[in-house]
Amino acid sequence: MIHPCVLIPIYNHKETIEAVLASLEPLGLPCIIVDDGSDSATQQVLASATARYPWIHLIRQAANAGKGIALTTGFRHAEAAGYTHAVQIDADGQHHTGDISRFLEAAAVYPEALILGTPLFGDDVPGSRYFGRKISVWCVWAETLSCDIGDPLFGFRVYPLAATVAVGRRYRLGSRMDFDPDIAVRMYWAGVPVHNIETPVRYPPGGVSHFRLLRDNLRISWMHTRLLIGMVFRLPRLLRRHRGT
């Protein structure tokens, strides 16, 4: 039996968060929102949502520290509150929340696994993001010596909290857009099984993205460099894993 919650990191997505929360209401799941130093307008929207929806628990960080820090805070809070799994979704409305039930069904069957969303792109996907994602996928396959991680950048996933918090305490993980692939690879190295589920993703017109092309690509490149070096030291263990011994 799993005891899940939804976890949403947010930074200045005041235009989209209300629709995301409205889509979650029929699911009857508790939701932890970590406000990563948002502006006053977003804080007002969140305060109104918290008053309207009793199943929301809001955590506010005074300054913007990055998605990775916000998620790490949320994981630790969720585990301390007694939840076994956290469904991570973004606040920008890109994820199809109607698929959360499918993700949780998989988590119930594979409770020790990291359930990763694999995006099904439409015609609205930005070309630079699509090809950059492909490069990251190839890097992760090299870092794990496998194709088990279908997409390391997609932020729609279910984390088994005990293993997630343990990995977060063991390693200094990426603090911003490098967090999602970093923790996926390190959880794989820790022996956590991976289960992939396809789900649609959309890029609505006028949507706000906090991905900064130069800054975040440099962060992700440096992260992959570290992970590739780390893979070399774990090579015997990874080879034994793939041989099933």
Predicted local distance difference test score (pLDDT) of residue 133: 75
Predicted local distance difference test score (pLDDT) of residue 177: 83
Predicted local distance difference test score (pLDDT) of residue 128: 56
pTM of the model: 0.90
For the chain, the straight-line distance linking the first and the last C-alpha, in angstroms and rounded, comes to 29
Predicted local distance difference test score (pLDDT) of residue 219: 82
- Give the pLDDT confidence of 70-86 residue by residue, as tens digits: 999 999 999 999 999 99
Low-confidence spans in the chain with pLDDT less than 50 = none
Find the Cα–Cα–Cα–Cα dihedral 134, 137, 141, 144, rounded to 10°. 160
Return all residues near 191 (Cβ < 8 A) that are at least 6 apart: 241
Predicted local distance difference test score (pLDDT) of residue 211: 59
Specify whether the CB–CB gap between 217 and 178 falls below 8 A. Answer: no
CATH number reported for the structural domain that contains residue 237 in this entry: 3.90.550.10
Predicted local distance difference test score (pLDDT) of residue 75: 98
Predicted local distance difference test score (pLDDT) of residue 20: 97
Specify whether the CB–CB gap between 209 and 92 falls below 8 A. Answer: yes
Predicted local distance difference test score (pLDDT) of residue 237: 87
Predicted local distance difference test score (pLDDT) of residue 209: 58
Number of domains in the chain: 1
Residue 233: φ, ψ to 5°: -70, -20
The domain of 112 spans: 4-243
